[in-house]
Structure 1
């Protein structure tokens, strides 16, 4: 049997269950694994599993399932949600978004008392039961999950053809709310409904909206947007440092990149010599990821930090500029236009001279800033 595995999220990797389940599935056939989503990529690298789990493409879980289904008899989706509520809601949404009706089994929260195996396609009930016994999990029929989701969770309701409401499952109080990778607010209760009008997030019922995040987000389809709550990575795992590739450069120029959006594919910048990051969350996430590739950053921040990971690491040689509230985007845009000439990458000959130019741009705008070096 050809078994495709879609690995979603860092927690299933950090707990060691991704490795355990992949080993178990090898008893049933030939196993091919790939990542679904993007946040698990760092965990796969830290676990030294990038040769086992394909992390090269940035695909949604449903897209990964569709792709791996082409050459698989059955697909196993493995996930470790914050709770069984969030895990089941995740599987329900992913299954609905898949093309056709894939031969899909979800393994959710293995090792937990509420862990389950869900054969989303009833054709796979026998295999689901075998896996459940091996993993000491309960089998949950998809009809049970679907009934609960449709009864308890208002996913999308359109009013007057302009307003979309989307209720979020399994939210706890005081959690960050992410839309397409951007923090757009914080929950104030366990009942949270996102409200969008003409594609713009206008309100968070049961939460506080973050206007700056909404501005960065822009126009979205709330119905299909990727929603996450809490931390992007819950585990405290020490990063694995990778050796940088050596290139035969004809000159000694350094490749510098610009990043103003934490939701962008930061991994594409791993071969840069330095990255300028704008915004507290962008700086935190980018610095943490690029630390694994020994890439320093220059972070332009203003103290508007939402805790999105437990710990953030930065490469030696990094510099963080702390500004007054609201100035990070203004300064960042000036750097982008005046130094990068409106382009995402540039070449420089002298790093210290480049840093001096950044500090000069900042000084021309404000004399109230702090520099932190790593």
Structure 2
């Protein structure tokens, strides 16, 4: 069965859909588009998108690479990117950024949030016309945005007050539609549209200044839906430590991992959210500096501790030093840590 009429005609089942972001699953876009377009392959890019995709039960395959890296492997008429943007401006900004990494390849971006199909040349018009007919979305030319110096990054489509992320760490809060930052002298500088959060910048620098042109940047909540709760994993095994780097969470899901020690408020909430469906408990070390970027959800056996007078950074590193190399019974180890810390912490959440 062929799908396109005009200059090119290919088999529908040769089409690959690349889904980016959790919203395309939580709003039902992925289910609808897979049903309408019958792709031969559906790929998922993005950590939180992977969580939402697993919960959806749809026949999709996770690919840990960036959308542009995946798209580069396919001809322009064989792969389509799908992303739900918050605004029309953010849809164009996102597509323009992806297209800028594709060299001579064009881009077709389906944005269910604005009901548009945005195209960046060169693309096959018969494919975009067919997609428009199937989805009911309007085809528009994508806007090309100004190129900035290599050490400068624009995060578009922001809403004032939203958190702004670099590699999963909140470095500040947007004050306008575009947050512009740069890296100079080993630190982050605000150019416009953002109030920096000193503690967040400090954490980012502690892990090493990333290549700003390739860093994962976004604004707003990471996910809007509460996670589904899965069955409890093994109760005895090894413990993994994640220190203010929540996007590394999936690397902790080895068969012999019984739980995760998470350091930082947002790291705890993100890892708890991701681990909830997989039945992976966490022991979260926090200090009350949470931004509420994901709806909370925790697997059975999870405990969240809040430092009474210390910062989670120092306390978390101390507890990380208490993680043994050998397998332990998770619940017993957690209770031992709580007893040893005494009045230095209080239990703010316990998932039975």
- 1:215 maps to which of 180, 202, 215: 202
2:152 corresponds, among 165, 177, 198, to: 165
**Structure 1 residues 73 and 242: alpha-carbon distance in aligned structure 2, compared to 1, 3 A threshold:** farther
Which position in structure 1 is the counterpart of 2:334? 355
2:6 is aligned to none
SS at match of 1:122: coil
Q: Distance in 2 between the 1:166 and 1:281 partners? A: 23
| In structure 1, distance between residues paired with 2:228 and 2:264 | 25
For residue 4 of structure 1, what is the aligned residue in structure 2? 16
In structure 2, what is the equivalent of residue 60 of structure 1? 66
Q: Does 1:266 align with 2:281?
A: no
Larger CA deviation: 172-181 vs 31-40: 31-40
Structure 1 residue 192: Cα displacement = 2.5
Secondary structure of 2:172's partner? strand
Distance 2:203 2:262 in 1: 14
Report what 1:161 is aligned to. none
Pick closer, same or farther for the CA change 1:138–1:325 going to 2, 3 Å.
farther
Structure 2 counterpart SS, 1:39? helix
Alignment CA distance shift 1:199-1:102 (3 Å): farther
Structure 1 residues 102 and 243, CA, compared in 2 at 3 Å: closer, same or farther? farther
1:275 paired to 2:260: yes
| Partner of residue 161, structure 2 | 174
The aligned counterpart of 1:83 is 87
Which of 266, 277, 280 matches 1:292?
277
1:158-185 CA distances to partner (integer Å, 9 max, x unpaired)?
6xxxxx3333222111100001111111
- Is the Cα–Cα contact under 8 Å of residues 283 and 305 in structure 2 kept in the other structure? yes
Checking the alignment, whether the CA contact within 8 Å between 2:280 and 2:299 is kept in structure 1 is yes
- Identify which range, 270-279 or 114-123, moves more after superposition: 114-123
Unaligned runs of 5+ in 2: 1-10
**Take 1:294 and 1:94, find their aligned partners in 2: how far apart are those partners?**
34
- Between stretches 285-294 and 216-225, larger displacement belongs to 216-225
Q: Where does residue 249 of structure 1 map in the other structure?
A: none
What TM-score results when the alignment is normalised by the length of structure 1? 0.81
Is residue 2:307 matched to residue 1:323? yes
* Residues 191 and 90 of structure 1, relative CA distance in 2, 3 Å threshold: closer
Match in the other structure for 2:8: none
Structure 2 CA distance for aligned equivalents of residues 346 and 186 of structure 1: 41
Cα deviation, residue 244, structure 1: 6.1
Q: Aligned residue for 1:107?
A: 110
Question: Matched residues in 2 for 1:284 and 1:17: separation?
Answer: 25
Work out which of the residue numbers 8, 14, 38 in structure 1 matches 2:26: 14
- How far did residue 331 of structure 1 move? 1.1
Contact 1:107–1:118 (CA under 8 A) maintained in structure 2: yes
Alpha-carbon RMSD? 2.4
In the superposition, the TM-score normalised over structure 2's length comes to: 0.86
1:123-142 map, 5 Å: 123-142=123-142
d(CA) in 2 for partners of 1:225, 1:253: 36
Go from structure 1 to structure 2 and tell me whether the alpha carbon gap of 1:204 and 1:318 turns closer, same or farther (over 3 Å shift). farther
Q: Which runs of no fewer than 5 residues in structure 1 stay unpaired? A: 159-163, 247-251
Counterpart-to-counterpart distance in 2, 1:306 and 1:292:
22
